[in-house]
Amino acid sequence: MTQQDYMSGFGNEFSSEDPRCPGSLPEGQNNPQVCPYGLYAEQLSGSAFTCPRPANKRSWLYRILPSVKHKPFTSVPCGDLTENWNEVEPDPNQLRWLPFTIPKTTEKKVDFVAGLHTLCGAGDAKSRNGIGVHVYTCNTSMVDRCFNNSDGDFLIVPQQGEILITTEFGKMMVEPNEICVIQQGMRFSVDVFGETRGYILEVYGAHFELPDLGPIGANGLANPRDFLCPVAWYEDRKVPTGYTVINKYQGKLFACQQDFSPFNVVAWHGNYTPYKYNLKNFMVINCVAFDHADPSIFTVLTAKSTRPGVAIADFVIFPPRWGVADHTFRPPYYHRNCMSEFMGLIKGHYEAKEEGFQPGGASLHSIMTPHGPDVDCFEKNSTAELKPQRVAEGTMAFMFESSFSMAVTKWGLHTCQKLDKNYYQCWEPLRSHFNPNWKPGKQ
């Protein structure tokens, strides 16, 4: 797919018609008595009708058949997808996972939905306040079935293998080092092209937005023009054997049958859309004098809570950049945080832990759990020559940071069998450098 297959901008008022049906968008109104081409008008609301205009999200879809035409939903097994945060006892330790196993095609065919595994989370979809962190490991495309999340938004981070996402709004090809957001209620299907793995940040009750820039000014970090949303594409396809719509609702999975493809939207307009973003376009801001800046300067997207300055979740990246700070320990500092920090690695080596933290793996440093550079990183960077140097070249690590105290699931602690029980040992060799006879020198 090329740049011409998308429209650029973040939260814009977009409009799109499949070129096979010119004039399919009604002129001058949303809901005419008879729509062009005999289509049905359907509104998808992502916010309350009465939300202030800057926060009001909705799109109008003009489709061959409305989404209400389906058989009743029935409960289906959830697999390793859960919202039960009390499966196991709390664990405040530093946690690290080795790369999560991708099932072999020769052993078992697993699509995106069947390959969803919940790792940790907190809150409640019923009260619309919370977060879930999932991984997906799959090897086959979804055939005659789609997924929609009635609980919240999915921020998807591919790590291995590109994914082709077909949505009601059109198609998006999303590769490793790109992300995409599928907002609440949007139906989508995922095609894969081999063994595929990635991470998902789910938020209930809020949508992702660009962080405020404050004194940074009008430009920087993730610029709005670099976000891409799909253009209209439809298929008028009957499925006599049954098309399955899988609905995540109140933390459970339900499925219904219909005899046609849900991707039958000929035209649409609005500001509530799926979108994607290439992380290479992030305009990095960093310290150019001294000290290590807080990682909030690397925030790509935020889902705000009702408390000013406190996020339900932030999506933060650690991209390639220059390190130039003088008389400074340049890697991340030792830290205890009132926020939960979940990290993943798309590629390369994370600067604070070059060994052990691997692409396709993860770590969780829970609220007030100490964390920081391992002994090798500390010793090397305490004596390194402080010349300008490239940091994280060929690497992309990211963080889901949340104000929620996240619980780890049974799958995360036990079933996946990827928990690194020796993680704590990377700090064991740290030794005291305290010298009571030290005297201030000339600075």
Q: Which residues are catalytic, by number?
A: 292
Within a 10 A sphere around the Cβ of 54, how many other Cβ atoms? 7
Residues within the annotated binding site for Fe cation? 335, 341, 371
Which segments of 12-52 does DSSP mark as H helices, in order?
none
The residue among 347, 351, 334, 345 whose CA lies nearest residue 391 is 351
The secondary structure element, H or E, covering residue 240 is strand 238-249
Q: Would you say 14 and 7 are in contact if contact means Cβ atoms under 8 Å apart?
A: yes
Map tokens 């997906």 to a residue.
Answer: 136
DSSP tally for the chain: helices H, then strands E: 2, 28
Sheet holding 95-97, edge to edge: 95-97, 362-365, 340-347, 396-402, 311-318, 299-304
Q: How far is it, in rounded angstroms, from Cα 189 to Cα 211?
A: 29
Residues within the annotated binding site for homogentisate? 350, 371
The residue among 224, 14, 258 whose CA lies nearest residue 145 is 258
Name the DSSP class of 82.
-
Task: Point out which residues pair with 203 in neighbouring strands.
Answer: 131, 153
Map tokens 């793995």 to a residue.
Answer: 197
Residues within the annotated binding site? 335, 341, 350, 371
Q: Helix-strand-coil percent breakdown of the chain, rounded to 5?
A: 10, 40, 50
